[in-house]
Structure 1
Amino acid sequence: MVEDGFDGTKIDSSTWVVYDSPDDRVNPRTRAATKVEDGTLKLTGGIYGGKDLSGGVASRLNLTHGRWEVRMRAERGVGYSAVALLWPKVFGRPEFAEVDFAEIIDSTRQSVGMFLHYGPKDTQRQKIVKRDATQWHTYALDWLRGGFTFWVDGKKAWTYRGPLTPERSKMGLALQNDQVCDRGPGFCRTRSTPKWVTMYVDWVKIYKAPS
């Protein structure tokens, strides 16, 4: 089990990798956007050195099957999408897979998406639930052989059993406040966007699946 309440003064580098790729075309990020303060992980989107950037971290623990829990909330703001997801240790080897168990693309933060992506053609299934994601919620994902179960605040939100379930990959948790302007003009920051838009994470728990 891994448990992190972000109670220190900096990110635990033995548990997390901090993203720093400010020149990327898709989801450019800077290490400066990632901070631990007041018992909270803060990933803050904004203008850094003249560039629209944000932040993210990835767990060093990769599993095939398990449970992931994240308590988080997101500030409103066009241009950024707060997300908790599983990403493969090596994308495309042996499988192309991505599992977003809380993707808050809605700039008003009144709905939360759950997405499965699988295969080189990015075949996708999704579920959208209504929640005020500016408030604290606990999002959880169970990945067992044959499928996924998605939870919000301890209540089952979606169950998927089918061919988009990866079975051979090791995957790890990523927490990202993505800058999403690459998705099109409607996703770029506007005059209405606050100077800083933060995703807050209170705690994370990761469990290996029982053998």
Structure 2
Amino acid sequence: MFSAARTYQPTAPTSVPGWTADFVDNFNGPLNVKTWGRYFGGTPTGTVSSYDATNAAVTLNPTNPTDGIFQLNTHFANGQWSSAGMSSDRGFSAVGGKWVIKAKFDRAYGVGYAFLLYPHGGAWPPEVDFAEGTFGGPSIMATLHYGSAQQNFQIQRWLTKVDMTQWHTYGVIIGANQIDYTIDGRVWGTVQTENTPKVPMWLGVQAGVKDCARSTGECLSSATPTSSNISIDWIAHYKQV
């Protein structure tokens, strides 16, 4: 796990052309709970798994205790499914800019995930789900939510044939009138709209076992493994310079 993570962007760049980092977490020590809040309790809509904060933790390299990977585990135990999620709401949010997550997934039929941006303060929408689907892909959906709580509009983009069991960077760039979705630094989808988020947004990562009665596509079945992980090497936000 750790050797593979080292081979592709082993740490978050502090700057890229036209951008400089104003938030970086390489997860090279215990989880910073001043920034990250782990989800606990409740069964998210469309899932059959409840959040357990102990399923979200940093795993340190056994040969280098200053090298870590954050993992969100979904598993079945004692007759129940549990999953994991966390957000940066308590420690960091930003208006616009570029968010990037370096991650890899176990292939897990029926286990869903989302990398998303949500408004600080909770007045929804807007929301940007910049990578969403099932563990391991191969398809990724991105969705912009805008409008009002009473009338929610959506604009979606799709990327196919991605081997998500390998390390990739998943990102989104929020501009004044445009959203770009990226993978490994390349733009794969663009939305041109005046309805981009104009308020501070925090980042959330979450997983859950999909309920066949309320979900489309892959959902819980005999093919769903009893344990699976999202592994995250780093998360960063950049502002334009």
Same fold (TM over 0.5): yes
Mapped partners of 1:126, 1:3: distance in 2? 28
The offset of 1:186, in angstroms, is: 5.9
CA RMSD, Structure 1 to Structure 2 (Å): 2.0
Give yes or no for contact 1:75–1:109 (8 Å, CA) kept in 2: no
Mapped partners of 2:226, 2:126: distance in 1? 34
**Structure 1, unpaired ranges of 5+:** none
- Per-residue deviation, residues 47-69 of structure 1 (Å, max 9, x unmatched): 25532121011012111112111
Give yes or no for contact 1:141–1:150 (8 Å, CA) kept in 2: yes
**Residue 15 (1) aligns with residue 64 (2):** no
Mapped partners of 1:82, 1:41: distance in 2? 15
Task: Find the residue that maps to 2:116 and give its secondary structure.
Answer: strand
Mapped partners of 1:114, 1:185: distance in 2? 16
Structure 1 residues 108 and 203: alpha-carbon distance in aligned structure 2, compared to 1, 3 A threshold? closer
Structure 1 residues 49 and 88: alpha-carbon distance in aligned structure 2, compared to 1, 3 A threshold? farther
Mapped partners of 1:85, 1:135: distance in 2? 20
Task: Find the residue that maps to 1:63 and give its secondary structure.
Answer: coil
- Per-residue deviation, residues 48-96 of structure 1 (Å, max 9, x unmatched): 55321210110121111121110111112233212211011133x3x51
Mapped partners of 2:182, 2:118: distance in 1? 18
Matches within 5 A, 1:93-112: 93=123, 95-105=124-134, 109-112=137-140
Report the counterpart of residue 26 of structure 2 in structure 1. 5
Matches within 5 A, 1:1-211: 1-8=22-29, 10-21=30-41, 23-26=42-45, 28-38=50-60, 39-59=68-88, 60-91=91-122, 93=123, 95-105=124-134, 109-119=137-147, 120=149, 121-130=151-160, 131-167=162-198, 169-181=199-211, 183-184=214-215, 187-210=218-241
Structure 1 residues 108 and 43: alpha-carbon distance in aligned structure 2, compared to 1, 3 A threshold? closer
Sequence identity percentage: 28
TM-score by length of 2: 0.77
The offset of 1:187, in angstroms, is: 4.7
| Larger radius of gyration between Structure 1 and Structure 2 | 2
**Structure 2, unpaired ranges of 5+:** 1-21, 61-67
- Worse overlay, 40-49 or 23-32: 23-32
AA in 1 matched with 2:69 = T
Give yes or no for contact 1:45–1:54 (8 Å, CA) kept in 2: yes
> How many corresponding residue pairs?
204
AA in 2 matched with 1:64 = V
Give yes or no for contact 1:87–1:174 (8 Å, CA) kept in 2: yes
Mapped partners of 1:66, 1:123: distance in 2? 22
Task: Find the residue that maps to 1:32 and give its secondary structure.
Answer: helix
Structure 1 residues 31 and 117: alpha-carbon distance in aligned structure 2, compared to 1, 3 A threshold? same
Mapped partners of 2:217, 2:191: distance in 1? 30
Structure 1 residues 48 and 205: alpha-carbon distance in aligned structure 2, compared to 1, 3 A threshold? same
Give yes or no for contact 1:127–1:158 (8 Å, CA) kept in 2: yes
AA in 1 matched with 2:28 = D
Mapped partners of 1:192, 1:204: distance in 2? 31
Give yes or no for contact 1:139–1:152 (8 Å, CA) kept in 2: yes
The offset of 1:25, in angstroms, is: 4.9
